[in-house]
Amino acid sequence: MASSVKKVSSAAGGGGGGGGASGGAINNKKTNGNGGNGPIRRSPTAEQPSNGAQQPANAAAAGKGKSPGSASGGKEKSALLTSKCILRTITAFLASNKRNSYNAQLRAKQMSRRRRQRKMDELSGKINPKMLEQLRKKTKFTKDELDALCRIYRKLISNCQYAAKTLATGSSSAAIVKPHAAVEGIDRIVFRELLHSTFDIVTEEILMERIFCCWDRAHEGLPLRLEGWLTGLSIFLRGSLAERANFCFRVYDLNSDGFITKDEMFTLLRNCLIKQPQDEDPDEGVKDLVEIVLKKFDLDKDGKVSIEDFMGTIDIEPLLLQAFGQCLPSETATVSFFSTLQI
């Protein structure tokens, strides 16, 4: 009886132990399931995302939170601002062009008015005070002399216009005369008559033409306007030795290449020296004279006379200034001309 009671108690004790184990396991499961007081251990990949993955998710969520209407409204606002900026730029550009066009038209009108006034002054022989002062500085004339020379210029212009009308009405070559008559100024015919009758220059046709072409360097070969007439006359009558030498060199340089060649010397001397035909060949004498003159003027021995050669020779021997033909007035003619000015 006693032995049977012990077996029963031992069995009960074993069961109790099993129950304790089962209870322990249950307690452990409860603890891991956050049923107990111990810390909770969770898998970071399964249950809680990392910080790097969480930020894009938040951004995506924020983006998803915006409505399509707000995005389209922002685009429309940006396009409107751009259009306004472009419109302001175009408006400013058009206003600037309009202002520049107006200024250009105003300057053109002013220049045209000045040209008309200058033209009227030239035709009437009058000079405005500003131009008179400029000419006084450019030339070697006094103000009273300039006024008198302007009156002479007006008379010469009248002669040119009268001659042009006469040729146009009484000649069959009116079509040729008409274009030249449109250019106002002292023409070749009146200029040659002036040199011959007033300054006693009797020379060949080729030198007369060269004097006319070299008179006004700014408008070579064209009718002489008032300013060109006065500046050329200043050198012609009161120029220094260097100014007169430069003028004579340009006259003798027939092709305007900067040199007086042997052929040009031959042409000039032959026209100046030969007046009547002779029995012997006159060209041989002219050729000998050309060789003599060339040795005198050709300082650098290159077979032609440059402006430096010419100026250097004139400095040494001023009497050779008009060695190839007369192109300057005599002292007597100059004094007589100034005595006739009504000052």
For residues 295 and 299, give the distance between their C-alpha atoms in angstroms, rounded to a whole number: 8
Exposed, middle or buried by CB within 10 Å (0-12, 13-18, 19+), for 22? Answer: exposed
For residues 296 and 302, give the distance between their C-alpha atoms in angstroms, rounded to a whole number: 13
β-pair type (305-306, 259-260): antiparallel
Per-residue confidence (pLDDT) for residue 244, from 0 to 100: 96
**From the centroid of its chain, how far is CA 151?**
37
Per-residue confidence (pLDDT) for residue 24, from 0 to 100: 41
Which of 69-78, 112-121, 311-320 is modeled with the greatest confidence? 311-320
pLDDT band at 317 (very low <50, low <70, confident <90, very high): very high
Which of 117-126, 141-150, 190-199, 308-317 is modeled with the greatest confidence? 308-317
C-beta of residue 284 within 8 angstroms of C-beta of residue 270: no
C-alpha angle 107/105/124, rounded to 5°?
A: 55
Single out the residue of 152, 126, 143 nearest to residue 337, CA to CA: 152
Tens of pLDDT along 90-143?
Answer: 888 888 777 777 778 778 877 777 766 666 555 555 667 888 888 889 999 998
Chain length of the chain: 343
The more confident residue out of 328 and 60 is 328
CB atoms within 10 A of CB 37: 6
What mean pLDDT, rounded, does the chain reach? 75
Tens of pLDDT along 247-266?
Answer: 999 999 999 999 999 999 99
Whether this model's pTM surpasses 0.75: no
DSSP lists the bridge partners of residue 260 as 305
For residues 301 and 37, give the distance between their C-alpha atoms in angstroms, rounded to a whole number: 127
For residues 179 and 192, give the distance between their C-alpha atoms in angstroms, rounded to a whole number: 20
pLDDT band at 278 (very low <50, low <70, confident <90, very high): low
C-beta of residue 145 within 8 angstroms of C-beta of residue 337: no
Helices 174-182 and 143-170, packing angle to 10 deg: 160
Type of residue numbered 221: G
How many CA atoms are closer than 13 Å to the CA of 316, on its beta-carbon side? 8
Sign for the CA dihedral angle at 265, 266, 268, 270 comes to positive
35 pLDDT more than 90:
no
